[in-house]
Amino acid sequence: MSELGRLTDSHGRNIRDLRISITDRCNFRCLYCLPETEEAADFYRREGRGDPKPIQHAWKPRTHFLNYEEIERIASVAVGQGVTKLRLTGGEPLLRRDVPVLVSKLSALPVEDLALTTNGFQFGRHAESLRDAGLRRVSFSLDSLDGENFKKLTGRDGLEEVLAAIRQARELGFNPVKVNAVIIRHLNDHEIEALAEFARAEEISFRFIEFMPLDSGRAWQKDHVVTGREILERLQARFDLQPVDREHPSATAKRWRFADSPAEIGLITPVSEPFCGQCNRLRLTADGKIRTCLFSLHEHDLKPLLRGGATDADLAEWLAGVVLKKEARHHIGETEFEQPDRTMSAIGG
Ligand code: SAM
Ligand code: SF4
């Protein structure tokens, strides 16, 4: 591979991780992502923010989505330029048809890691075919273990389905099975210990994520964020936790292991302790835009190249040029911070 082809940004960071969103649609309405339910409006009203002021996000027509051949092609070019991790996400990726077909195409690429992030609601019916297609790792979102609170948080009465999906993933041999929770003050912060206990008992890797300003209601405020430090202090008061070395300097989570279980706790702290300096990620949206940061205000449209006869070498050169423009860091909490037009659901977390 020529040096020219490598994906290295102007801050010396090598891109290794490509997050591929395959749809912006979702069957949930999480209060921190698509707060479009009455419960979400009530919560934010009570919190003193007035009614959420929604971003006018129109669903992209499905015809705008890249097809699986196009996704495979761009992934293959990026892998040739040094990407070693691919993650399928959304929106809810399992709302797209025939995801195992895409998984089998991507699993044929020489990557170290191919994973999927899902809310789990429809995982059960696809689980075996995803595994048979070559998927090895899956991350679920689970923010509450209380049926009512789960419904308030996600807009969907789906706790049992998600718990069943997590257990099924373990039984089918997905490894590791990770579970992510976004913790929001006055909403699910009283469940931190219970969620950790769930992780310990089920022997899974559990990640607590700080709430970021990427919700469609633009309702985020700093007071809602429960910091990783606070979560850790609470967990250390309750459990015997031992620190675990980072998998890689670019890993987003700081990790701890339970003394009496192989389960792990990870803290992802983009707001209180940003890790931009080590960021090695690039994102591809369902409609074919490359985003160099979750908080990018500019994106780079691949479709004219993909559909305009560009060769793989053209795509590689273009990608390398885009990566050079990767932002040094985000500006959450600073006066110049500007929330991007796209919500987390339309970027791909
Ligand atoms: N629908 C799938 C799911 O929920 O797992 C995949 C897409 S979702 C956008 C990916 C991840 O982003 C989830 O773990 C979710 O909790 C996280 N997320 C969404 N909005 C967020 C926000 N405002 N702050 C922090 N994390 C967020
Ligand atoms: Fe929730 Fe994921 Fe859907 Fe966003 S994309 S509303 S986080 S399930």
Q: Check residues 203 and 1 and name the one with the higher pLDDT.
A: 203
Residue at 166 is within a domain: yes
Residue at 310 is within a domain: yes
> Which residue's CA is the nearest one to ligand 1's atom 20?
33
Q: List the one residue out of 331, 190, 209, 348 whose CA is nearest residue 284.
A: 348
- Residues 187, 345, 227, 174, Cα dihedral to 10°: 100
Q: Check residues 5 and 168 and name the one with the higher pLDDT.
A: 168
Cβ atoms of 86 and 18 closer than 8 Å: yes
pLDDT at residue number 2: 44
Q: How confident is the model over 178-196, as a mean pLDDT? A: 98
Mean pLDDT, the chain, as a whole number?
Answer: 92
281: CA distance to ligand 2 center in Å? 20
pLDDT at residue number 57: 62
Residue at 10 is within a domain: no
Name the band, by pLDDT with cuts 50, 70 and 90, for residue 275: confident
Peptide bond into 340 cis (omega under 30): no
18: CA distance to ligand 1 center in Å? 16
Q: How confident is the model over 299-316, as a mean pLDDT? A: 96
- Cβ of 26 closer than 6 Å to ligand 2, yes or no, is yes
The total number of structural domains that make up the chain: 1
Any idea what the CATH number is for the domain that residue 342 is in?
3.20.20.70
DSSP at 139: E
- Residues 77, 73, 70, 13, Cα dihedral to 10°: -20
Q: What is the pTM of this model?
A: 0.94
The angle subtended at Cα 339 by Cα 333 and Cα 343, nearest 5°, is 125
Cα–Cα dist 180/257, whole Å: 16
Boundaries of domain holding 200: 17-347
Cα–Cα dist 236/194, whole Å: 13
Could you tell which of 182, 183, 187 is best to mutate to test the pocket of ligand 1, judged by most ligand atoms within 8 Å of the CB?
182
SS3 assignment for 25-75: CCCCCCCCCCCCCHHHHHHHHHCCCCCCCCCCCCCCCHHHCCCHHHHHHHH
Name the band, by pLDDT with cuts 50, 70 and 90, for residue 52: low
Q: Check residues 348 and 227 and name the one with the higher pLDDT.
A: 227
- Cβ of 33 closer than 6 Å to ligand 2, yes or no, is yes
- Cβ of 121 closer than 6 Å to ligand 1, yes or no, is no
Residue at 141 is within a domain: yes
Q: Which residues contact 255 (CB under 8 A, 6 or more apart)?
A: 243, 244, 245, 246, 247, 264, 265, 266, 267
- Cβ of 142 closer than 6 Å to ligand 2, yes or no, is no
- Cβ of 21 closer than 6 Å to ligand 1, yes or no, is no
Residue at 7 is within a domain: no
Question: Residue 26 CA: which ligand is closest?
Answer: 2
pLDDT at residue number 340: 85
Interval 110-144: pLDDT, tens? 999 999 999 999 999 999 999 999 999 999 999 99
Q: Residue 154: pLDDT above 80?
A: yes
Facing residues of 8 across strands? 14
Residue at 1 is within a domain: no
347: CA distance to ligand 1 center in Å? 10
Q: Which residues contact 184 (CB under 8 A, 6 or more apart)?
A: 31, 32, 211, 224, 225, 226
pLDDT at residue number 296: 85
Residue at 334 is within a domain: yes
Cβ atoms of 15 and 281 closer than 8 Å: yes
Cα–Cα dist 246/79, whole Å: 23
- Cβ of 327 closer than 6 Å to ligand 2, yes or no, is no
- Cβ of 119 closer than 6 Å to ligand 1, yes or no, is yes
122: CA distance to ligand 2 center in Å? 13
Interval 201-249: pLDDT, tens? 999 999 999 999 989 888 898 999 999 999 999 999 999 999 998 777 7
Name the band, by pLDDT with cuts 50, 70 and 90, for residue 49: low
Q: How confident is the model over 24-42, as a mean pLDDT? A: 93
Residue at 4 is within a domain: no
pLDDT at residue number 4: 45
The angle subtended at Cα 18 by Cα 16 and Cα 24, nearest 5°, is 165
